[in-house]
Amino acid sequence: MPQTPTPRKKKNVRAAEKPVPAPVPPRARTDDEPASTLSAVRSGGSKLLRGVKDLAKQTVQLPGSTAKVAAAFVPLTRLLGGPAHIQDQQLSVELDKIFAALYGHPLTEQTRRFTTYLRARNVLPNESSTESLIRYVVNESVARSPLPVPQQIVDEFWTFFHELLADPELRGLADLGLDITRLLLKTYEPLLVEVINELKDIYYSNQDRLDLLLRRVQVVRSDLKIIRRQIKALRYIRPFFQADPKDFAAQAQIVAKMVREFGPFFIKMAQVAAATSNFLPDEIARELAVFQEDVPPMSAEEARSALMDSFGRPSEEIYFGFDAEHPLKSGSIGSVYLAKKPVVIDGVEHLVPVIVKIGRHNLDREFLMGKTSIGLMLVSSQYWAPHGKLTPFLKAMTDQIDGFVEGFRNELQFEREAQVQSSFSRRAQNSLIWRVPEVYRATERVIEMEYVEGAVNISRAAQHFKPRDRAAYQRDLAKKFLFTILSQIFVYQEVHGDLHPGNVMVDKAGRLHLIDWGNTIQLAGKMVPVLNYLKGALVANPDLMTDALIAICTDPEAARARRGEIRAALVRTLHKKSIKPLSYDFAWMLYTEGPQGWLTRANTLLHLMSNTQQLGLVVRGEYLHLSRSFVAMIATLGSLYEGVPRRRVVADILITVNTFPARLLQDFLRSNRSDIRQAVTALARRAVFAAPKASPTSPSIA
């Protein structure tokens, strides 16, 4: 049978069925309540006053709060606007900052007040209605429970409820909107990050293409400026030919002006010509020597910009004492600066002097436009000086310049130059005769290398160090220089491409230091034609020269079909230069000619190039630069023997060549003396301790 409800249960039911009291409407004012009305008016006035004060305060805070909101958007804008991909956590952090600023804005606070006003008038749900609703739900649940609910549990619930809502803080409508927005953003943050990153990829891909297109347009514009300047510089050709043929001083000044105005390409050509200054009039040789020693430096701003582009830091953060205004030396490729840099050696920081070589900006375009300008001049010359025989010459001349320029452009690759210099630095590190400065680091436009303190140009070494016997000092340097050349040719089969005096330094101890390794020539596979080429030019053998020339041109098969024509042209050149073929008395002929005669024979190498152009032949670029290299070496060697009697020059060269193997071994042993001594000592110790000990039973030797 069903149990009869207990009185307690009935009490609970009655309590649950008790209706919720309705809100009491405000009573109408009566005449018998003046005191309460006055109190209400005062209370309303004070509230109004506080509201006015708060409004004024918020009005004052409005600009600052708005600025904070705007500032909160800046990091997100940078995050979205940058090319790098963003992460979920990055987006979440920046959004939280923005919402924190929005929550604290005065307008958000005003919406809270407005929401409170609407709730107080029951326009919006308020705390009272919410609590009544909860109480109604609880009472209904208790009343309809199939099991009796003890009153203690009900009381505990209401205690917990009141403690939970002891310090209520209702949020305004704006807060509610921000909460909903933030919740939705948190939900979709991973998807948003993916979409943003995809948009970044699309945008920056298109932007990169647009930037690349604009850069190419700018290259064309800059090329037009370069070629306009270069063509303008060619106007000096006319006054050069109008000058008195015997007035070399006037011609030299005209050439110098044209070279400076034309720019790096002609400066490099002038340096090559300066290497053969022995074959030029003294006035022109002196003008060209200026370009070999020093040229106008790059601007200080360009030097600083190159360091910033290469290392991402300004020069003052990298070096001490770097003076962009005053380089040590400037050339056609770049400028050289002296600075100091902190280096840790054996755990101790030292301030070490370093050489900083910085390449000029846009040199590649300068060389290409220089080639174009010369090509335009040669092509246009066929119209103002038409002649059928000029056509093959001009065509060969144009192709030859192309090969020459390609060799020059190799010197613009600083990272490659640093690798070559490091290789030769390792090869020469044990030599007591020649060295190569060590490279510390390199970029596309900057090489940082060892500083050789006190070293000077080899042509000025005797004047600078003032030896007791100047002639003996010069001869010793010449023998060391020849030994260095022989080492590179026969030991390493790779030679420095431009050993003019400016690239050979001498220290106080008389050791040679070779610098500027932008151009080197590999001799592997080229030795036979090169030796025949040199031998033919020096001994004036037309057959040997012809075969060598055919072997080193770009189209040997076509040249071989014209062998007779080529040989006849070479014979004419030898006759014009009054170079006699060497025979059994070659030693006496070389002795009587002396260094000047050898230089004249070496000059035949350059005249070969003009012969090839007249014949429509083009010498391969590597051989062209090799001839330039050997001519520079011979010219440097000849300058060291200036004023030295011929017999001593011949004796020095013969002795150096014949004793080269022995001196090479001697140099190795001297440079490694300490290492060899340590090795011998170690072997001796090992032999002593490894010797068998005498047996105790064996008789001793009296």
Evaluate if residue 514 carries a pLDDT over 90.
yes
The more confident residue out of 53 and 215 is 215
Task: Name the token pair of 329.
Answer: 């030396």
Considering the chain, what percentage of its residues have pLDDT values greater than 90? 15
Q: Return the structure tokens found at 654.
A: 């013969």
Q: Which is nearest to 654 in space by CA: 607, 569, 586?
A: 586
Whether the pLDDT of residue 327 is over 80: the answer is: yes
Between the two ends of the chain, the Cα-to-Cα distance in Å is 135
What does the pLDDT read at residue 591? 67
Would you say residue 384 has pLDDT above 80? no
- Measure Cα distances from 664 to 430, 491, 640, 675 in Å: 11, 10, 22, 17
Q: Answer yes or no: is pLDDT of 72 > 60.
A: yes
Reported confidence tier of residue 59, pLDDT bands at 50, 70, 90: low
Question: What's the pLDDT at 481?
Answer: 95
Q: What is the mean predicted confidence (pLDDT) over 479-493?
A: 92
pLDDT at 20: 43
Residues in the chain: 702
What is the distance between the alpha carbons of residues 643 and 638, in angstroms, rounded to a whole number?
Answer: 10
Does residue 13 surpass a pLDDT of 50? no
Residue 298 pLDDT exceeds 70: yes
Backbone φ and ψ of 496, nearest 5°: -65, 135
Helix, strand, coil shares of the chain as percentages rounded to 5? 70, 10, 25
Q: Which helix (H) or strand (E) holds 330?
A: strand 329-330
Confidence class of residue 55 from pLDDT cuts 50, 70 and 90? low
426-453 b/e (C-beta count within 10 Å ≥ 16 → b): ebbeebbbbbbbebbebbebbbbbbbbe
Query: Rounded distance, CA 569 to CA 48, Å?
Result: 114
State yes or no: pLDDT of 22 exceeds 50: no
Cα–Cα distance between 162 and 168 in angstroms, integer? 10
Measured distance CA(82)–CA(104) in Å, rounded? 28
Mean pLDDT of 151-163: 75
For residue 37, what pLDDT is reported?
Answer: 52
Beta strands (DSSP E) in 490-612 are 494-496, 504-506, 512-514, 520-522
Res 475: pLDDT: 93
* Kind and range of the H or E run holding 343: strand 334-345
Q: Which residue has the tokens 């000092």?
A: 473
Give this prediction's pTM. Answer: 0.59
Q: How far apart are CA 627 and CA 624, in angstroms?
A: 5
Own/partner long-range contacts of 216-219 (Cβ < 8 Å, ≥24 apart): 219/365
Residue 221 has pLDDT above 90, yes or no: no
User: To which residue do tokens 């919406």 refer?
Assistant: 111
Residues 6+ apart with CB under 8 A from 143: 12, 13, 16, 17
The model's confidence at residue 684, banded by pLDDT at 50, 70 and 90, is low
Closest C-alpha among 475, 480, 502, 488 to residue 644? 475
Residues 593-635 pLDDT 10s: 666 666 666 666 555 555 566 666 777 877 777 777 877 888 8
Q: Tell me which of 189-203, 326-340, 470-484, 667-681 is least confident.
A: 667-681
Contacts of 377 (CB under 8 A, 6+ apart): 231, 234
Give the whole-angstrom CA distance, residue 679 versus residue 670: 14
Residue 12 vs residue 153, higher pLDDT:
153
When mean pLDDT is compared over 22-36, 271-285, 378-392, the highest value belongs to 271-285
Query: What are the start-end ranges of the E strands in 346-493?
Result: 348-359, 434-435, 439-442, 446-450, 456-457
pLDDT of residue 255: 84
> Which pLDDT band holds residue 410 (cuts at 50, 70, 90)?
confident
% pLDDT > 70, the chain: 71
Q: How much is the average pLDDT of 194-217?
A: 75
The residue type at 266: F
Residue 171 DSSP symbol: -
Residue 66's CB is within 10 A of a number of other CB atoms, namely: 14
| Higher-pLDDT residue of 68, 338 | 338
Distance CA 147, CA 159 (A): 22
Residue predicted with more confidence, 126 or 73: 73
Taking residues 234-251, what's their average pLDDT? 81
| DSSP state for residue 693 in the 8-state scheme | P
Q: Answer whether residue 113 shows pLDDT above 70.
A: yes
In degrees and rounded to multiples of 5, residue 669 shows phi and psi of -65, -40
Q: What local confidence, expressed as pLDDT, does residue 672 receive?
A: 62
Position with higher pLDDT, 371 vs 280: 371
6 exposed, middle or buried (CB, 10 Å; 0-12, 13-18, 19+)?
exposed
Quote the pLDDT of residue 478: 94
Q: Best-predicted range by mean pLDDT among 282-291, 433-442, 539-548?
A: 433-442
What mean pLDDT do residues 632-652 have? 84
353, 334 contact by CB (below 8 A)? no
pLDDT at 76: 82
What was the pLDDT predicted at 3? 44
In this prediction, residue 438 carries a pLDDT of 93
pLDDT at 258 over 70: yes
DSSP bridge pairs for 334 = 359
Side-chain half-sphere CA neighbours of 267 within 13 A: 21
